[in-house]
Amino acid sequence: MDLCAVEDITLAPGEPRLVPTGLTVEIPPGFEAQVRPRSGLALRHSIAMPNAPGTIDPGYRGEVRVILLNLGREPYAIHAGDRIAQMIVARYEPVEWVEGDLGASERGAGGFGSSGR
């Protein structure tokens, strides 16, 4: 779903701002919402989401707000009603961590670029 701003805000170059959407949600247990940037804002106006994707967990009850950062050289005006981000709701599997020794693998502890491609 698209998330829209509910107030006019101007982003100065290099300035991160919290942009309100007016939306509140109650995410059911076993689900999360992910807030993602809009590619058109990034390509045309250099507007980024520095924490992308943002996660909304089932315990959060506040307003959904989006951190936007102007990476461009000029101020960028956001108007009430402008689409500023996208949100999806997805199921997740809870994980219970167990301390222990790791099994061997062909890749081992190899980092970036170590998978052979």
Domain regions of the chain by residue span: 2-91
Q: What separation in angstroms does the CA of 98 have from each of 101, 103, 109?
A: 10, 13, 19
* Per-residue pLDDT tens over the stretch 53-73: 999 999 999 999 999 999 999
Residue 23: the pLDDT is: 97
- Does residue 113 carry a pLDDT above 80? no
Residue 9: the pLDDT is: 97
**pLDDT classification of 117: cutoffs 50, 70, 90:** low
pTM: 0.82
Residue 84: the pLDDT is: 98
Helix, strand, coil % over all residues of the chain, rounded to 5: 5, 40, 55
- 2-91: which CATH topology? Deoxyuridine 5'-Triphosphate Nucleotidohydrolase; Chain A (2.70.40)
Give me the DSSP letters along 56-107: E-TT--SEEEEEEEE-SSS-EEE-TT-EEEEEEEEE---------PPPP-SS
